[in-house]
Amino acid sequence: MEEIDDWDELEEKEQAEETAAAVPAVGAAEVRAELCRKMAQRLLRDQRIAEPPVPVDRIAKTLGFAVQHQDLPRGIHARLQIIDSRRVIELARGEADARHRFSIAHELGHFFLGHRHNEHKTGETEANLFAGELLIPRTWLRRDLANHLTVAELIARYRVSREVLFIVAKDARLLNRLR
C-alpha cells in the first residue's frame, strides 16, 4: 500500500509540473515577479499575519471589499468589480474553499498591482504570483519543509489546493523538498 501512495504522489507532482509548464510564458521584463511577492509580504505584515492559514476573506473585508458568491459565467472563478467607491470580489458559487481562497488572493493581487482589464496575460501571471506568496509565503514554506511536513499536512495547514502548493514550491525552487 505504501508503494502505491508514493506512486500517486509522484504522479501528482508530475501533473502539477505539467500544469505549471502549460501556463503561457511571459517575458521576465514584462512580469514584475519580485514586486508581486513584496506587495503580498507587505500586506501580510500590515495585517499582522504571521501564521497560516492566511484569512484572505477577512483581509478583503478589512480593506473594504465585499465578498459575494455569484452565478458567474462558465470558466470564470472570480472577478473584481470596482464601481464608484464600492469594491466587490465576486466568487463563482459552488467552488471549493481552496479555490475561493486563491480567487480572493488573486483578485486582491489585481487591485494592489494596479492592473487594468486589458493587461490580461501579464496581469494574470502577476496576480497568480501575488496570490501564491500571500497564501504560501516562501519563508513559511521553507520553515515548514525544514520541519518535515508532508504534502497533505501543508495543504491542510495553508488551506490551498495541491496544485497551488506545487506551483508555489516550484516557483520558490523548493519542489524537490516536497514529500
Q: What pLDDT is recorded for position 178?
A: 87
> Alpha-carbon distance 1 to 70, whole Å?
42
Q: What is the block-wise mean pLDDT of the chain (179 residues), using blocks of 10 residues?
A: 36 41 42 92 97 97 96 93 91 96 96 80 91 97 96 97 95 88
* Residue 162 · residue 96 · CB < 8 Å: no
Contact 117, 81 (CB under 8 A): no
Contact 40, 109 (CB under 8 A): yes
CA atoms within 13 A on the CB side of 111: 22
